């Protein structure tokens, strides 16, 4: 098969990883790149380009960063690149049917779950928060309905007890790249037939809302720890102590039970403290106080007062 002309759509690090990998593959010619516009981030809210945009500029690739696809000129420009197929990796925007129609059955999408489980915006976070032991990456034919296209190929990855969303995402990058080099090429050659998803097994990974970062101490210790691991790819989780936010960064579920109210500090050690939850005890050994860097609890206790019987939570504010 001759070299395939591909338009690439993506935004974050995993997309840049896949794009760079495709640029090194002689079977692909990236004829154009579409990414999200520069976004404000950081304390000073300065505008920053996406990782995909930075990579495209470094390789002098034709680049577009539209706010949306409502302007017909966006599709006209993409069409002028004369691609044969499109690869979408975490682009961050719903693509219109008019775009899909440019390359019938040849628009493929990398999705970071084992479809049909966790269709939607936050599959990595939701898998960890749900306590899943396994997840993976799928390559699917893109259709208008959210993540509902036939699956071309997949790779699985175990979710270990101490793995957070940041580490899981790193594990997924080479898996996504491999799917593009192997299954995508087999699909384009006509050697691989995609299989439909089982609609009876569909679950949805809804977008993570800001309020989910606030710890609900009525949840079990396991659920709180899973939330900490899942939301590591973002804001993390926090509680209130002494009228200030306290982010938890390192925790452990303790099996012993104590008669205490959820959110009540039950043990204060030299380098940890333990908090009662709606089910079990959560041991905390790493924190990040408001406006401070991450630190061990030993360092935290040298600068802040925390004692048995203190109540952590929203009501402390």
User: What are the φ and ψ backbone dihedral angles of 158, each rounded to 5 degrees?
Assistant: -75, 145
Q: What is the pLDDT confidence band of residue 182, given thresholds at 50, 70 and 90? A: very high
Residue 230 C-alpha from the chain's centroid = 9
Please tell me the distance from the alpha carbon of residue 315 to that of residue 218, in angstroms, as a whole number.
Answer: 13
Edge-to-edge strand list for the sheet holding 28-34:
63-64, 28-34, 4-10, 85-89, 107-111, 134-141, 151-158
Of 17, 148, 142, 13, the closest CA to residue 85 belongs to 142
pTM of the model: 0.94
Residue of higher predicted confidence among 313 and 7: 7
Architecture label for domain 4-205: 3-Layer(aba) Sandwich (3.40)
Question: Are 25 and 8 in contact, with CB atoms under 8 Å apart?
Answer: no
What is the Cα gyration radius of the chain? 23
Classify strands 46-48 and 244-254 as parallel, antiparallel or unpaired: unpaired
Q: How far is 195 from 217, CA to CA, in rounded Å?
A: 43
Quick: pLDDT tens for 93-102: 999 999 999 9
Q: Is the peptide bond before 33 cis (omega within 30 degrees of 0)?
A: no
Which distant-in-sequence residues (6+ apart) come within 8 Å of 32 by Cβ?
7, 8, 61, 62, 63, 64, 78, 81, 83
Contacts of 236 by beta carbon, 8 Å cutoff, 6+ apart: 213, 228, 247, 248, 249, 288
Q: How many beta carbons lie within 10 A of that of residue 104, not counting itself?
A: 7
CATH tag, 210-316: 3.10.25.10
Q: Give percent of the chain with pLDDT exceeding 70.
A: 98
Instruction: Report phi then psi at 110, rounded to 5.
Output: -90, 125
Do the domains at 4-205 and 210-316 have one common CATH topology? no
* DSSP label of 193: -
- Reported as a single tens digit per residue, the pLDDT across 197-234 is 999 999 999 999 999 999 999 999 999 999 999 999 99
Give the contacts of 291 (CB within 8 A, at least 6 positions apart).
none
Q: What is the pLDDT of residues 247-289, one digit of tens each?
A: 999 999 997 777 899 999 999 999 999 999 999 999 999 999 9
Res 40: pLDDT: 81
All structural domains of the chain with their residue ranges: 4-205, 210-316
Cα–Cα nearest to 15, from 109, 84, 82: 109
* Number of other residues whose CB lies within 10 A of the CB of residue 115: 25
pLDDT for 1 equals 63
Owner of token pair 């104590």: 258
Write down the pLDDT at residue 258.
75
Beta strands in the chain (DSSP E): 4-10, 28-34, 39-41, 46-48, 63-64, 85-89, 107-111, 119-120, 134-141, 151-158, 204-205, 237-241, 244-254, 265-268, 273-276, 281-289, 295-296
């Amino acid at each position: 098969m001759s070299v395939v002309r591909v338009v690439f759509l993506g935004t974050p690090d995993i997309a840049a990883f896949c794009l760079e990998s495709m640029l090194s593959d002689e079977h692909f010619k990236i004829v154009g790149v579409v990414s999200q516009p520069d976004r404000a981030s950081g304390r000073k809210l300065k505008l920053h380009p996406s990782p995909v945009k930075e990579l495209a500029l470094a390789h002098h690739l034709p680049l577009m960063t539209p706010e949306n696809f409502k302007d017909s000129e966006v599709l006209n420009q993409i069409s002028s690149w004369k691609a044969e197929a499109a690869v979408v990796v975490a682009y961050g925007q719903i693509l219109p049917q008019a775009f899909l129609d440019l390359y019938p059955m040849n628009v493929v999408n990398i999705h970071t779950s084992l479809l049909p489980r966790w269709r939607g915006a936050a599959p990595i976070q939701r898998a960890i928060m749900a306590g899943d032991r396994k997840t993976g990456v799928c390559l699917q034919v893109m259709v208008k309905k959210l993540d509902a296209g036939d699956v071309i190929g997949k790779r699985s990855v175990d979710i270990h007890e101490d793995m957070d969303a940041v580490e899981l995402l790193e594990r997924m990058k080479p898996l996504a790249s491999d799917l593009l080099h192997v299954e995508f090429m087999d699909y384009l050659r006509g050697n691989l037939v995609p299989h439909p998803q089982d609609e009876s097994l569909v679950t949805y990974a809804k977008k993570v809302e800001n309020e989910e970062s606030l710890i609900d101490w009525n949840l079990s210790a396991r659920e709180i720890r899973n939330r900490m691991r899942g939301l590591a790819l973002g804001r993390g989780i926090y509680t209130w102590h002494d009228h200030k936010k306290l982010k938890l960064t390192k925790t452990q579920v303790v099996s012993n039970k104590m008669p205490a109210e959820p959110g009540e500090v039950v043990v204060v050690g030299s380098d940890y403290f333990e908090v009662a939850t709606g089910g079990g005890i959560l041991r905390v050994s790493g924190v990040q106080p408001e406006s401070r860097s991450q630190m061990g609890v030993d360092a935290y206790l040298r600068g802040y007062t925390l004692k048995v019987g203190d109540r952590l939570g929203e009501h402390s504010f």
